[in-house]
């Protein structure tokens, strides 16, 4: 889903621009502010901030923020699969990621003096996470330094924001970021469920292919791990489980540690079968892993479809009910709230479910 805005930057001093940029606490606002501030300073024909994603096992780039010479900003979210293109579709992207330096190439914009300047965007651990593209006539040294300087500020401040959103032990998203992520997902789901006329000509690929799903995950008998081996080994179990979680799920899936031995996964759009298979795969990966000193560990999982008709506490509660059933009926299993209701093992839902399970 792409959102278009008329976003003007006040002609402030350079210092005031930096103050404004570093006053933001939300990634989307930070990205838009970066693009619009540099647009005001260097007046190019176009600026695009790209992000790199792994989609279906392939590195792809998404034009996350686009600003043209008319001052129109378009912000794409990470589920806009149609807007993605393969990273290797542009040699300049590959070169920029490989060399970690800016790349200049002739722009296809039609003007003889028009160039594309592509700068690497760095994330945590200094990995290249995207590209900053400026289309304009030849940049002078001052403009080049402004771009690299603001990208350094963006990188440093983005790292601070991301650190504040992460659980200290596991590096997964923390509990306080959950509400904001869920609000965005509900907005995406509302957009996907709109009639085609209201949604506009662009259709988000995958929106009709499935729903978002939420799973609550709990480590079986984790207290006995801490009691028998000590909290140091208990923490190592949590850390290794988080690493396995990151390897099992897709980049666009959201992974949270809620506290203690409880984790939450929010799946990007998927069918019921694909969602259940993903959670089963994670359960098996944990069951088959040999944790140092501790040995074998198992998990129980309860999951539910996310619907914008419900408030978050409702579907979290439903996932908790499915988890409770799993833990009190054998543990080491994955249970779907909707299936448990269909089978009469849990109370009926408060509204007619529109989930096609089979």
Please give the average per-residue pLDDT across 117-128, as a whole number: 87
> In the beta sheet, which residues pair with residue 133?
48, 118
139 is written with which tokens? 């940049």
Of residues 307 and 354, which shows the higher confidence score? 307
The reply to whether 152 and 185 lie within a common domain is no
Q: Has residue 63 been placed in a domain?
A: yes
**Does 28 have pLDDT greater than 60?**
yes
pLDDT of residue 203: 36
Q: How far, in Å, CA of 340 to CA of 180, rounded?
A: 29
- 65-121 pLDDT, tens digit per residue, is 898 877 778 878 776 778 889 999 999 999 999 999 999 998 887 677 899 999 999
Q: With CA atoms as reference, report the closest residue to 72 among 123, 116, 7.
A: 7
**Does 317 have pLDDT greater than 70?**
yes
Q: Has residue 262 been placed in a domain?
A: yes
- Between 205-209, 277-281, 308-312, the lowest mean confidence (pLDDT) is in 205-209
pLDDT of residue 4: 53
The reply to whether 251 and 333 lie within a common domain is yes
**Does 22 have pLDDT greater than 60?**
no
- What residues contact residue 70 under an 8 Å CB cut-off, 6+ apart? none
- What residues contact residue 169 under an 8 Å CB cut-off, 6+ apart? 235, 238, 239, 257
CATH value at residue 112: 3.30.450.40
Q: With CA atoms as reference, report the closest residue to 336 among 255, 258, 278.
A: 278
Do 38 and 146 contact (CB within 8 A), yes or no?
Answer: yes
DSSP labels for 25-56? -SHHHHHHHHHHHHHHHH--SEEEEEEEEEET
- 283-299 pLDDT, tens digit per residue, is 999 999 999 999 999 99
Q: Has residue 201 been placed in a domain?
A: yes
Q: How far, in Å, CA of 221 to CA of 229, rounded?
A: 13
| Strand spans (E) along the chain | 2-6, 46-55, 58-68, 72-76, 85-86, 103-106, 115-122, 128-136, 211-219, 254-259, 262-270, 299-305, 334-336
Q: Has residue 355 been placed in a domain?
A: no
Three-state DSSP state, 284: helix
Q: Has residue 90 been placed in a domain?
A: yes
**Does 18 have pLDDT greater than 60?**
no
Task: Tell me what the pLDDT averaged over the chain comes to.
Answer: 83
The reply to whether 199 and 63 lie within a common domain is no
- 189-199 pLDDT, tens digit per residue, is 666 555 544 44
For residue 352, name the pLDDT band (cuts at 50, 70, 90).
very low
* Token pair 């700068």: residue: 119
The reply to whether 197 and 134 lie within a common domain is no
The reply to whether 133 and 218 lie within a common domain is no
* Token pair 């603001």: residue: 150
The reply to whether 45 and 93 lie within a common domain is yes
User: What is the domain range of residue 151?
Assistant: 2-164
Q: Has residue 358 been placed in a domain?
A: no
pLDDT of residue 193: 59
CATH value at residue 227: 3.30.70.270
The reply to whether 182 and 147 lie within a common domain is no
The reply to whether 137 and 221 lie within a common domain is no
Number of domains making up the chain: 2
* Token pair 């989930």: residue: 355
Catalytic residue annotation:
261
Q: Has residue 9 been placed in a domain?
A: yes
CB atoms within 10 A of CB 85: 14
Please give the average per-residue pLDDT across 50-76, as a whole number: 82
Q: Has residue 96 been placed in a domain?
A: yes
């Amino acid at each position: 889903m792409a959102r278009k805005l008329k976003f003007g930057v006040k002609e402030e001093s350079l210092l005031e621009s930096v103050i404004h940029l570093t006053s933001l606490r939300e990634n989307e606002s930070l990205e838009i502010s970066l693009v619009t501030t540099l647009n005001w300073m260097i007046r190019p024909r176009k600026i695009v901030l790209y992000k790199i994603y792994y989609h279906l096992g392939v590195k792809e780039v998404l034009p996350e923020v686009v600003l043209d010479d008319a001052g129109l900003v378009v912000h794409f979210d990470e589920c806009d699969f149609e807007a993605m293109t393969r990273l290797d579709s542009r040699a300049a992207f590959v070169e920029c990621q490989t060399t970690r330096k800016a790349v200049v190439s002739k722009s296809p914009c039609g003007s003889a003096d028009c160039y594309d300047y592509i700068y690497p965007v760095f994330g945590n651990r200094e990995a290249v996470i995207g590209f900053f593209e400026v289309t304009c006539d030849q940049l002078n040294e001052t403009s080049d330094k402004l771009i690299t300087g603001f990208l350094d500020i963006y990188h440093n401040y983005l790292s601070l924001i991301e650190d504040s959103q992460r659980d200290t032990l596991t590096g997964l998203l923390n509990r306080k970021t959950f509400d904001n992520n869920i609000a965005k997902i509900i907005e995406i789901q509302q957009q996907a469920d709109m009639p085609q006329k209201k949604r506009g000509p662009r259709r988000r690929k995958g929106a009709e292919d499935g729903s978002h799903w939420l799973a609550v995950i709990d480590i079986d008998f984790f207290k006995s791990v801490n009691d028998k081996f000590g909290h140091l080994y208990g923490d190592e179990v949590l850390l290794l489980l988080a690493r396995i979680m990151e390897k099992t799920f897709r980049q666009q899936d959201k992974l949270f540690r809620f506290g203690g031995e409880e984790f939450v996964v929010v799946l990007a759009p998927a069918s019921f079968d694909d969602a259940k298979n993903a959670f089963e795969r994670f359960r098996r990966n944990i069951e088959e892993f040999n944790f140092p000193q501790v040995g074998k560990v198992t998990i129980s999982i309860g999951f539910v479809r996310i619907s914008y008709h419900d408030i978050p506490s409702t579907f979290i509660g439903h996932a908790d009910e499915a988890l409770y059933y799993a833990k009190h009926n054998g543990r080491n299993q994955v249970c779907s709230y909707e299936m448990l209701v269909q089978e009469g093992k849990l109370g009926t839902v408060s509204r007619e479910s529109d989930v096609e399970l089979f």
